[in-house]
Chains A and B, each alone.
Chain A
């Protein structure tokens, strides 16, 4: 009987050893990012090479979705190994304990821009909310909009406007037009902002909800100028010769972050991919496809001038920018959106 038990244990130990040996199969990483053009660019610029070198496959999904992240972590079923989080969502995710601490020793931190990484996240692609206008109406050679504040300038640039249907950016623009200085914008004086937005509201023909819609409306002439994310006009001007001009004065600079969701099944491989995405050449390739920059300081030397002209992180654009305060939006976002929705419905 004792012998029998012993051999049983031995056999099961052997079987266990066999199964662990079997699990050395190639890992598949599940990455959630903005989706669409962004994921495609990431795949072309970084992921394909990464898979070829390491054998680690990447399955991607989109868009970035804070609600899904929360649901996954809270139900203990984390599907994503790496995920993008945006404005306000990043500090909130840390607060709610939705993300793992990163192993920063694996990243080339000395080459990364200050503030582009911390214990919980690394820059995905900083982007800017800019003003795009229709060059069929105001050609680049003549008098044309130069600032976000031209949204209010019906005298020189008459016509309908397109705006982002969100309190984010819209409140900043309102406060800027009320005359608040860029560096003292936060906390946002919402009453002052809404006073200015009240003046703008009758001219807004489209309150868009997706990035594709923002440029489509301009192209269809549903508006003559509008608020867009900087990567959109970059892709359309370069690929389709779309008639868009971009004004940077008063642009709003956003960070987006890569995080490893709490309970991710492949932490080690996710860190490996994060490190691969900090490679300056890969970042340059990504920027050239999509028009969004990343956090490595060495990337700039690999970029063509006509790409730099569209990047949110180019020094002259940063000098004209308002840096969006993630912490303010984390604390005040839900209430601000509620007030914004009420205002829109009035």
Chain B
């Protein structure tokens, strides 16, 4: 309803909009072209040239098994982070929409403070917590839960914990905006017609939050797959993610290979982002018809 109203009101000024749109978009687009698209295309062309001129093409592609393993690692880690942030954020966001305005503000403050801290600081904080003599092990030892310190750091668990911590606020923002616009009279209608709480949740609430869930999951996956610092500092060898690998190749002056990997990553992200965009506009579309 709201969108229809706005477009009606602005109809009188419509002739100005294309010009204004162009003017507003020029600075951002030229900046991105200058510092990202142009250098990236140049590097890509260089990499293509290097590879066609190089006699070591077989060697470069001989490393494919490593590439696949790293690509698979990256996808799996990103999926694990997506699921864990989803599971943590969903109930929290539900709560956020149901509490008083004051509590809501307080809760958002608590969510935002760590969000503003640097990812490096958060990573080191987790290293302090999770190492063999760290806080987590000390608490579990002193309460008698374990007798030997557990290996909590330099493995998959540590990486997923660290990344989930970083990514959680992004999921919360995405879910919260979706959940806030759920029409509660539908839920009241559902329960007044005799549906159980579970039925109401599964048949009414969950479906109306699904667009936000999809959008949140996709954006978290996109953010997670390019992660560098956390897997590099908190992971073991099998948590080598694609960015870590690209950095290694660049340092070894294997620029063509590093660039091709970077191109793969960007390509993957473009595909994912297109899906995200498509789903997102679809979501708008349905809302408008309702």
Per-residue contact bits, chain A 190-213, to B (CB 8 Å; 1 contact, 0 not): 000000000000000111010001
Per-residue contact bits, chain A 211-248, to B (CB 8 Å; 1 contact, 0 not): 00100110011100000000000000000000000000
Does B252 count as interface, using CB distance less than 8 angstroms?
yes
- A209 near B132: Cβ-Cβ < 8 Å: no
* B154, chain A: closest CB distance, angstroms: 5
- A220 near B134: Cβ-Cβ < 8 Å: yes
* B156, chain A: closest CB distance, angstroms: 13
Interface residues of A in 111-167 (CB under 8 A from B): 165
Per-residue contact bits, chain B 114-141, to A (CB 8 Å; 1 contact, 0 not): 0000000000000100011110000000
- A222 near B70: Cβ-Cβ < 8 Å: no
Does B240 count as interface, using CB distance less than 8 angstroms?
yes
- Across-interface contacts of A334 in B (CB, < 8 A): 252-254
- A221 near B132: Cβ-Cβ < 8 Å: yes
Q: How large is the interface on B (under 10, 10 to 19, 20 to 34, 35 or more residues)?
A: 20 to 34
- A342 near B66: Cβ-Cβ < 8 Å: yes
Per-residue contact bits, chain B 221-234, to A (CB 8 Å; 1 contact, 0 not): 00000000000110
- B248 near A341: Cβ-Cβ < 8 Å: yes
- A333 near B252: Cβ-Cβ < 8 Å: yes
* B26, chain A: closest CB distance, angstroms: 27
- Across-interface contacts of A18 in B (CB, < 8 A): none
- Across-interface contacts of A165 in B (CB, < 8 A): 237
- B69 near A345: Cβ-Cβ < 8 Å: yes
Chain A residues touching B, majority SS: helix
Known A-B contacts A165-B237, A206-B154, A220-B133; the reply to A342 vs B65 at CB < 8 A is: yes
- B240 near A344: Cβ-Cβ < 8 Å: yes
* A345, chain B: closest CB distance, angstroms: 5
Distance of A290 Cα from B95 Cα, bound (Å): 54
Known A-B contacts A207-B237, A222-B131; the reply to A70 vs B253 at CB < 8 A is: yes
- A338 near B253: Cβ-Cβ < 8 Å: no
Per-residue contact bits, chain B 142-153, to A (CB 8 Å; 1 contact, 0 not): 000000010101
- Across-interface contacts of B237 in A (CB, < 8 A): 165, 207, 344-345
Does B22 count as interface, using CB distance less than 8 angstroms?
no
Distance of A338 Cα from B245 Cα, bound (Å): 10
Q: Which of B66, B70, B233 contacts A209 (CB 8 A)?
A: B233
Q: How large is the interface on A (under 10, 10 to 19, 20 to 34, 35 or more residues)?
A: 20 to 34
- B232 near A345: Cβ-Cβ < 8 Å: no
Known A-B contacts A207-B237, A344-B240; the reply to A220 vs B132 at CB < 8 A is: yes
- B248 near A337: Cβ-Cβ < 8 Å: yes
Does B33 count as interface, using CB distance less than 8 angstroms?
no
Distance of A345 Cα from B66 Cα, bound (Å): 8
Q: Which residue of B lies closest to A166 (CB)?
A: B248
- Across-interface contacts of B131 in A (CB, < 8 A): 217, 220-222
- B69 near A222: Cβ-Cβ < 8 Å: no
- Across-interface contacts of B66 in A (CB, < 8 A): 338, 341-342, 345
* B141, chain A: closest CB distance, angstroms: 13
Known A-B contacts A67-B250, A341-B66, A345-B238; the reply to A205 vs B133 at CB < 8 A is: no
Known A-B contacts A66-B253, A220-B131, A222-B132; the reply to A341 vs B232 at CB < 8 A is: no
- Across-interface contacts of B153 in A (CB, < 8 A): 206, 222
Q: Which of A213, A217, A342 contacts B63 (CB 8 A)?
A: A342
Residues of B within 8 A of A (CB): 59, 63, 65-66, 69-70, 127, 131-134, 149, 151, 153-154, 232-233, 236-238, 240, 245, 248, 250-255
Beyond A216-B127, A341-B66, A344-B238, 13 additional pairs, beta carbon < 8 A: A67-B253, A70-B253, A206-B153, A206-B154, A207-B154, A217-B131, A220-B132, A221-B131, A221-B132, A222-B154, A334-B252, A334-B254, A341-B245
Nearest 4 A-B pairs (CB), nearest first?
A344-B237, A220-B131, A221-B132, A342-B66
Residues of A within 8 A of B (CB): 65-67, 70, 92, 165, 205-207, 209, 213, 216-217, 220-222, 333-335, 337-338, 341-342, 344-345
24 A-B pairs whose Cβ atoms sit less than 8 Å apart in the complex: A66-B251, A67-B250, A67-B255, A165-B237, A220-B127, A220-B132, A220-B134, A221-B131, A221-B133, A221-B149, A222-B132, A222-B153, A333-B252, A334-B252, A335-B59, A337-B248, A338-B63, A338-B66, A341-B240, A341-B248, A345-B66, A345-B70, A345-B238, A345-B240
